[in-house]
Amino acid sequence: MTKPQRARHLLHRLNELYPHPPVPLDHLDSYTLLVAVLLSAQCTDVRVNQVTPALFALADTPQAMMRVPVAEIQAIIRPCGLSPRKSAAISELSKILVKQHGGQVPADFDSLEALPGVGHKTASVVMAQAFGVPAFPVDTHIHRLAKRWKLSSGKNVVHTERDLKRLFPRECWNKLHLQIIFYGREHCTARGCDGTTCLLCQELRQ
């Protein structure tokens, strides 16, 4: 198969396998999603979902969170790892949202990426899942599978994101990035598939 043929086949099959992929991180609104995505850096979504109920019970708005001592935030999110940095970022970005954005999460990449602890991937997830803006957040699963499926050379996540955006229609980006994540977690894992074992890898080799 050519690269466009592989892309079309994968899009068709992933739509069959995951017609309605859920958002993996539990959240209430754009603010709680932003915090959850920030916490997910170098941490599993499962662990984040175990931690955020206690955090959001304490404060689920930037106005409330900015009044919580950083040490208290850190104590709750410690299981997510990198808690000193993440707790400071959550506190500071909450203050910025209140002071500069009227307590609302901005729906644009530049403003999001200017917030403490928010990189391009985090901003992309929030734009896609909170605001429905076409984006293609590339996590470790997507980066790995894009290379395994020969959709990208996989030099870095920026390169992978650019390649995938060129291959797939803009209107499917938000759904597709979730579909690839779920497939990578459930079937085409780093150790469980060598590029020939799982269903889609087998189909692409035909």
User: Are 181 and 141 a contacting pair, CB within 8 Å?
Assistant: yes
What are 117's two structure tokens?
Answer: 């602890």
The catalytic residue among 45, 86, 121, 163 is 121
Residue 121 annotated as catalytic: yes
Residue 99 annotated as catalytic: no
- Provide CB contacts within 8 A for 30, sequence distance 6+: 104, 105, 107, 126, 130, 131
- Provide CB contacts within 8 A for 29, sequence distance 6+: 130
Distance CA 56, CA 114 (A): 23
Per-residue pLDDT of the chain (206 residues; tens, 9 = 90+): 899 999 999 999 999 999 999 999 999 999 999 999 999 999 999 999 999 999 999 999 999 999 999 999 999 999 999 999 999 999 999 999 999 999 999 999 999 999 999 999 999 999 999 999 999 999 988 999 999 999 999 789 999 999 999 999 999 999 999 999 999 999 999 898 989 999 999 999 87
- Domains annotated for the chain, with CATH where assigned, are 3-21+135-204 (1.10.1670.10), 30-131 (1.10.340.30)
Q: What is the pLDDT of residue 206?
A: 77
Distance CA 51, CA 175 (A): 26
The catalytic residue among 86, 99, 108, 139 is 139
pTM of the prediction? 0.94
For 60, the enclosing helix (H) or strand (E) is none
